[in-house]
Structure 1
């Protein structure tokens, strides 16, 4: 009976002939072909090559095989200024290039190339006093799902500092497709900031009967003007519990993306540039940034799919 080594040699010779033909690379190729049947140690000893040399050969082969995918991942990562991690890169690969790659492989290749997303900055929520205004019950109750457009909107205000000036951004988000329906910017954080935002929203969306509009208890949302305005168009007011940011987590999430992806990566020197960056990001977010929750579509694509 042939020994294990002899059997391995016989099988290898039948597959590829002379063991010395083609040099070390040929031997490594033979070993890789039969390694499932025999141990690497035995085969390397048989062919007179080192185990470390064999593993280096396998690693080089894997690198070469993944090179097209690596190049594609790097191009997407670079296109979006290195702001995204493997899960969002996976969505951009599908949306921009029509290529679906397992998220574990995207993660592995990004780690091997040393590509990491920018880390989000932590932020604190600031709530203005609602004393002297009106407060509504929490109708939304953290149910951030909607079956059709204009059923549920969430709204909030965030701030961004440019040198010694604060820029305030008021925005409205439709929970059906996470689209930013309207936004308005000003250096004053008052009720007019909010009222102007809703004026823009109602110019685009004529019929909002039955709409639920959810906000926190900031003074802009407890103002009499705000509470008088929404019922006149058939909308119902909903408010977070006092100081509970999770009740409006969907809007908080958008502002986090806006700052970490659209503002923090850049050296913004003046208000005009800050406003331009915000406008560009909101357009990008609505039209070009796919989301896993939207079946890997962008907010605008998801909405259009409903009417297609």
Structure 2
């Protein structure tokens, strides 16, 4: 216990310290830990705020075509995209994900130290290649500057995709993406983040492309995982 409290003036939060000490066999509660931290003048070290900001200007040139019509008839008709932040290697990293709305399957993702247009373009490129280069689909996102950038819009044009954007400040216009990130953060990512960016890459890939797509039951699919729902569609329709 003494070693834990003599490493310096910065420390994890009282809850994290309590859990660590209890795992080592110490009988101690959070209030006792808080008292010890005050006595030793230890300050909880918390992650700083993430860098990207929400849109402050409406984009009337990119309408909300999807308009919460989240039920679609087949794969590769409507994709959604969004960005969230992940704590790794002592700083924020940014995760962009592309979701096929038909069965809520993750079809592309990218992780970067910068929340820029390159990040969302990379996630889109991965999805485009993995799904056999589909055309004519609708891509929906929030009004983040990355999705409104010339670089991203040119990529959509090259792939013959239409663009739709949520209304400013209305997270429910992209609710399926919010649910993916909520599941990822509450079910999988360690509360203290990742030690390295490489560890984050491996672990997030394992969750999105394997656990979420193939194993985790999804309420939208009546308990079937997204990838298995698509497999069932192929069996029923005879699609190869």
| TM-score of the aligned structures, taking structure 1 as reference length | 0.56
**TM-aligned CA deviation for residue 151 of structure 1:** 0.7
**Structure 1 match to 2:140:** 214
* 1:274 equivalent in alignment to 2:200: yes
Preserved CA contact (<8 Å) 1:290 1:298: yes
After TM superposition, which residue ranges in structure 1, 4 or more long, deviate above 6 angstroms?
A: 130-134
* Structure 1 residues 132 and 154: alpha-carbon distance in aligned structure 2, compared to 1, 3 A threshold: closer
Structure 2: which 5+ residue stretches go unaligned?
1-49, 236-240
**Structure 1 match to 2:156:** 230
Query: Bigger relative contact order, structure 1 or 2, given CA contacts below 8 A and separation 6+?
Result: 2
What are the residue-to-residue correspondences of 1:100-249 with 2, within 5 Å? 127-129=53-55, 135-162=61-88, 164-249=90-175
**TM-aligned CA deviation for residue 208 of structure 1:** 2.5
Give the distance between the partners of 1:271 and 1:225, measured in 2 at CA.
25
**TM-aligned CA deviation for residue 268 of structure 1:** 3.2
Normalized per residue, the structure richer in strand is: 2
* Paired residue total: 184
* Structure 1 residues 165 and 176: alpha-carbon distance in aligned structure 2, compared to 1, 3 A threshold: same
| TM-score of the aligned structures, taking structure 2 as reference length | 0.70
* 1:255 equivalent in alignment to 2:185: no
Whichever of the two has the greater Rg, that structure is 1
Structure 2 SS opposite 1:142: coil
Preserved CA contact (<8 Å) 1:217 1:241: yes
**Structure 2 match to 1:38:** none
**Structure 1 match to 2:216:** 289
**Structure 2 match to 1:78:** none
**Structure 2 match to 1:41:** none
Structure 1 SS opposite 2:147: coil
Give the distance between the partners of 1:164 and 1:130, measured in 2 at CA.
29
Structure 1: which 5+ residue stretches go unaligned?
1-123
Preserved CA contact (<8 Å) 1:127 1:217: no
**TM-aligned CA deviation for residue 267 of structure 1:** 6.1
